[in-house]
């Protein structure tokens, strides 16, 4: 699936940077990556080429600028932002879909995203997905000693000024995106921070983890250096699972390093496919599928609440045992409450890891209810 990524606001631009860095060298899936921000200094820190960066509006990252001001700036600037997109890559959209990355809780990203998503949906005949990070408890609750995930929220001076309206802003932005975004992929910052870790300290690591999952899902289709998937996950498959009705989506992921040095019985004089025991391949796939389904998700939820699911198993072709992948798909089918399940493989001849990327679409999450309660 060919994807255009648009980072909006400081957090959104950092995520767009991370996705660009996570793109597999042998399997390109990004057509363009853009960075939009009201803060010139934050924008200058991105590694996205200057031709694809654009400063707009006032500095809505000012803590005194509320979400209403951010919404107004977004609405006032939307035509300007569309012009910046078309100035960077032309009037036509080469991608199969657009992914808008944004951090919710502040004014810039949450304020601009609804207007920009609506404009993109009107302009192009392609789905517009939103990848949204949710604020951590410490950002809006100065009294919180422990996060909802059991993490100690130590005082970190570099985390920036408190944002008492962060929960309310995040919920309002999500509500405004409902009915506009084709789907909303959520990432719960609070659950991913380590004990005692500050927001600034943890954000690069969190962004890398998030970008790895995004790349595993959206770079799944097609061929890679001549390796043909047994069951290709194409654009229509991804669109079918994510839907077009603003479903809340969470991503699971598991990986395992495997041996790729060639036949263990040969002399090593010529490159060859590794001689993989069937039991080893099956075990590796079972392990990563289990991690993807039952391990840490970008937004924690009970898989049984999902309406649809997608499983992608990738790695060196010799390790992609078809029966094990089919069994993984049945495992996913039994884990979710819905009946819409798709699965496929993604050969990576130059890779040294077997991975499983899992998409849960249409989920319900206690974390969103916690943020709604904090917003009241």
Closest CA to 105 of 43, 209, 183, 187: 187
Q: Known binder of ligand: residue 370?
A: no
Pick from 374, 307, 297, 316: nearest CA to 335: 307
- The Cα 52–Cα 38 span in angstroms is 14
Look at residues 354, 360, 315, 313 and name the one whose alpha carbon lies nearest to residue 333.
360
Q: Contact, 106 vs 163, CB < 8 A? A: yes
Q: Cα dist. 200→132, 167, 207 in Å?
A: 17, 19, 11
Residues 6+ apart with CB under 8 A from 303: 293, 294, 309, 335, 336, 337, 360, 363
- What are the structure tokens assigned to 87, written together? 């100035």
Which of 211, 248, 206 minimizes the C-alpha distance to 16? 211
Q: Is 227 annotated as a binding residue?
A: no
Instruction: Please identify which residue in the block is written with the tokens 């057509």.
Output: 31
Q: Is the dihedral of CA 252, 258, 260, 264 positive or negative?
A: negative
207 is known to lie in a ligand binding site: yes
Distance (Å, rounded) from C-alpha 169 to C-alpha 20?
28
- Say whether 133 counts as a known binding-site residue: no
Q: Known binder of ligand: residue 172? A: no
| Binding residue positions | 107-109, 139, 207
| Binding residue positions for GTP | 107-109, 139, 207
């Amino acid at each position: 699936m060919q994807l255009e990524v648009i980072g909006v606001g400081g957090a959104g631009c950092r995520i767009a940077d991370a996705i660009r860095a996570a793109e597999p060298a042998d399997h390109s899936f990004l057509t363009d990556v853009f960075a939009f921000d009201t803060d010139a200094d934050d924008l200058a820190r991105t590694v996205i080429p200057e031709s694809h960066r654009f400063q707009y509006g006032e500095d809505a990252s000012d803590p005194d600028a509320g979400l209403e001001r951010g919404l107004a700036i977004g609405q006032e600037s939307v035509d300007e932002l569309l012009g910046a997109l078309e100035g960077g890559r032309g009037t036509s959209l080469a991608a199969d879909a657009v992914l808008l990355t944004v951090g919710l809780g502040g004014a810039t990203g949450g304020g601009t995203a609804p207007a920009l998503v609506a404009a993109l949906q009107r302009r192009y005949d392609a789905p517009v997905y939103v990848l949204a990070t949710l604020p951590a408890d410490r950002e809006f609750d100065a009294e919180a000693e422990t996060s909802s995930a059991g993490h100690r929220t130590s005082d970190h001076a570099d985390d920036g000024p408190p944002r008492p309206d962060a929960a309310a802003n995040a919920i309002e932005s999500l509500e405004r995106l409902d009915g506009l975004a084709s789907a909303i992929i959520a990432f719960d910052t609070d659950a991913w921070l380590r004990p005692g870790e500050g927001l600034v300290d943890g954000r690069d690591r969190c962004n890398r983890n998030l970008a790895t999952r995004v790349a595993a899902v959206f770079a799944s289709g097609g061929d890679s250096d001549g390796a043909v998937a047994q069951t290709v996950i194409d654009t229509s498959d991804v669109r079918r699972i994510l839907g077009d009705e603003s479903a809340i989506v969470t991503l699971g992921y598991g990986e395992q390093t495997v041996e790729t040095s060639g036949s263990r019985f040969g002399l090593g004089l010529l490159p060859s496919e590794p001689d993989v025991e069937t039991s080893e391949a099956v075990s590796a796939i079972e392990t990563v599928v289990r991690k993807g389904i039952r391990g840490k998700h970008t937004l924690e939820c009970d898989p049984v609440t999902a309406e649809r699911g997608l499983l992608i198993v990738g790695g060196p072709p010799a390790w992609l045992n078809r029966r094990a992948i089919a069994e993984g798909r049945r495992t996913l089918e039994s884990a979710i409450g819905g009946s819409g399940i798709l699965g496929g493989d993604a050969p990576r001849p130059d890779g040294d890891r077997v991975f499983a990327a899992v998409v849960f679409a249409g989920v319900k999450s206690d974390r969103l209810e916690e943020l709604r309660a904090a917003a009241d």
